Amino acid sequence: MINHMNSYFSAEKQESLIFMAVGLLAIGLGAWLWMNGHRLKSMAWPLVLIALMQIVVGASVYLRTDTQLSALSAQLTANPAALKVEETTRMQVVLANFSIYKAVEMVLLIVGVGMIAFLQRHDLAAGIGVGLVLQAAFTLTLDIFAEARGADYLSALRSIPA
């Protein structure tokens, strides 16, 4: 079980770094588009707004992971049955939340594609649409991987003897 736990939290930490790096890149791209007066400079709005969320979420996951893993490892040694109950409950909530996140990301993706397809002659709408597509597709992709990791970890938790 400890290998599953280490693997899960290590991957969470790695993904949080990717989240933060892409957030910083998106802010940089948004600033560049805006400062250079690019015709799709409105792409900066969704790039930057979603990037701020990515940076906050990424940083919070990164900063709490080592402490969380240490506490869970100690609990696994001291009281595996309690760990199973508490961590299974937590992971069920985490996985349920992915359904919400993915639905929001898909809506943003569809809205972005719609704006590009139907409002491409309007620079403001087309730029916002492109920004939404880029950020929603990226975030959705990472969340799909995170959800799969979470499901594997939950399965390992359920295999702990009661």
In tens, the pLDDT along 28-68 reads 999 999 999 999 899 999 999 999 999 999 999 999 999 99
Distance CA 19, CA 144 (A): 14
Overall pTM > 0.85: yes
Q: Residue ranges of the chain with pLDDT lower than 70?
A: none
Length of the chain: 162
Closest-CA residue to 140 (of 72, 75, 50)? 50
* Residue ranges per structural domain of the chain: 2-158
Distance CA 17, CA 22 (A): 9
Portion of the chain with pLDDT greater than 70, in percent: 100
